[in-house]
Copies of this chain bind each other. A is one copy, B any other.
Amino acid sequence: MVATESSGVAVRCAGTIGVVASVAMNLAFLAMYINRHYFGKRRSDNGSDSSTEITAVEPSKGKPPVTQDSVVNLDQGDPALYKEFWDGTGDRATIVIPVWQTMSYFSDLSGFCWFVEPGFEREVRRLHRLVGNAITDGYHLLVGTGSTQLFQAALYALSPTENGTPMNVVSLAPYYSSYPSVTNFLYSGLYRWDGDTNTFTGDKCIELVCSPNNPDGGIRKAVIKSKSAKTIHDFAYYWPQYTPIIEAAAHDIMLFTVSKCTGHAGTRLGWALVKDTEVAQKMIKFMELNTIGVSKDSQLRAAKILKVVCDDYELSPIGKVNHLFHFAQRKMAERWSRLRAVVATSGIFSLPDELSSYCMFAKENVTANPPFAWLRCHKDGVEDFEGFLREHKIITRGGTKFGVDERVVRVSMLDTDEAFNVFIGRVASLK
């Protein structure tokens, strides 16, 4: 694929500046050089590594490959599923950052938030207009080192410092397993985790609304009606590949992340749409104190990637079945279909009911394909389902971490094909 990419460069080059056919050999030579120079060693190359100045830093490979006998780790939601898509896009979303560029702390001193790269903000707003999953007009856009950091910035911004008692933070069980630990790890006097929304009896709180919900894929709305309750909407998974887009959301604080939208988890980039100016300013204050802004390199890379996603849909609508959301939706639907079939024949497992609805993005009725399977075990004698699966070399995350019982686990649906296939095979063998 690398060779194809660079040949593509040379081919477009020829088209662009009209290099004539007689120099094709030289171009081929040069294409090979560019390939090695800019994209490193060819994957099929068994010879010695030639000059690779620009890619001299070997990037990491993520998790090790899965084999038939190995442990399959589906605990975290590492979005490896997306690599296949990006493998096929050539160099269009490749980022090049010259060393003298983007050195300053400051991105845009004339903008609302000095550490947001204008190009990143532009592409994010464009993406929401394309997908229709959130209103951006009238909202401030903030960037964070993943949406996790922005979640903490929001807790900070919504918790008054005056009265001395921490704000209660609640979420309907099963809730995302990180909410309690991220809320409590610094023993903040501003806020504290108070558990399941259903058991909360006060009126002043921050309610976390994750929709589609991690771990079970449910469509969630805020539960607490008190005027003193504030909400943070975690929309990490509110993208067409996971769920029908049923409305353009317009809540006070909405969190998104590149990780689960395009699969670039290592870029560690999230964003928040924030309605209230004072709340947004307090969130910026948190970001200044916590990390003095956010990696510009990640913002430039994410901007480039989101631009390609939008360009694909806007400039080549006719080929949309091959664009990001359609590709990922198809992959997810295939995986869910296989998992549901295996679960149906197992006799001992169950999954939440399938949800379907009209999707404003796809412009048709579609079925939800949540990023996690919320798998329940009904087999007699299996009380600790996470432990039971671990004995079968499948690593998942047990229900107690999500505030419910231990006969249910969360399984990532976003890992590699290899890992998913081994997982399906092992589940099928369990009776």
Partner of A38, one of B38, B60, B146, B186: B38
Give Cα A32–Cα B301 distance, bound, in whole angstroms. 24
Q: A50-B16, A96-B95, A149-B291 are in contact. Are A59 and B101 (CB under 8 A)?
A: yes
Partner of A92, one of B53, B96, B298: B53
Q: A57-B303, A148-B292, A185-B289 are in contact. Are A266 and B104 (CB under 8 A)?
A: yes
Give Cα A165–Cα B398 distance, bound, in whole angstroms. 33
Interface residues of A in 118-158 (CB under 8 A from B): 118-120, 123, 145-146, 148-149, 152, 156
The reply to whether B26 and A26 form a contact with Cβ atoms under 8 Å apart is yes
Interface centre among A34, A189, A295 (most CB of B within 10 A): A295
Q: A97-B94, A290-B148 are in contact. Are A106 and B60 (CB under 8 A)?
A: yes
Give Cα A365–Cα B183 distance, bound, in whole angstroms. 51
Contacts of A187 in B (CB 8 A): 161, 188-190
Partner of A57, one of B13, B76, B119: B119
Partner of A33, one of B17, B181, B263, B265: B17
Beyond A62-B103, A181-B289, list 19 extra A-B contacts (CB 8 Å): A19-B26, A55-B96, A57-B95, A57-B123, A62-B104, A62-B106, A86-B99, A86-B103, A95-B297, A97-B301, A102-B266, A103-B266, A107-B266, A156-B186, A161-B187, A185-B289, A267-B295, A290-B290, A291-B291
Give Cα A63–Cα B109 distance, bound, in whole angstroms. 7
Q: When A and B form their complex, which 8 residue pairs have the shortest distance between CB atoms, in order from nearest?
A: A62-B104, A187-B189, A93-B99, A266-B296, A295-B295, A57-B119, A86-B100, A145-B291
Q: A266-B104, A292-B148 are in contact. Are A13 and B33 (CB under 8 A)?
A: yes
Give Cα A360–Cα B297 distance, bound, in whole angstroms. 34
Contacts of A303 in B (CB 8 A): 57
Q: How far is the CB of A267 from the nearest CB of chain B, in Å?
A: 6
- A contacts, CB < 8 Å to B: 1-2, 5, 9, 12-13, 16-17, 19, 23, 26-27, 29-30, 32-34, 37-39, 50-51, 53-64, 76, 78-80, 82-83, 86-87, 89, 91-109, 117-120, 123, 145-146, 148-149, 152, 156, 161, 178, 181-182, 185-190, 259, 263-269, 285-286, 289-298, 300-301, 303-305, 307-308
Interface centre among A17, A53, A89 (most CB of B within 10 A): A53
Give Cα A50–Cα B76 distance, bound, in whole angstroms. 43
- Shortest Cβ distance from A32 into B: residue: B17
Contacts of A104 in B (CB 8 A): 60-63, 78, 80, 265-266
Give Cα A86–Cα B186 distance, bound, in whole angstroms. 40
In the complex, 16 of the A-B residue pairs with CB atoms within 8 angstroms, ordered by the A residue number, are A13-B30, A17-B29, A19-B30, A39-B98, A59-B97, A60-B102, A60-B106, A61-B104, A86-B103, A103-B265, A107-B266, A146-B291, A152-B290, A178-B289, A186-B186, A186-B189
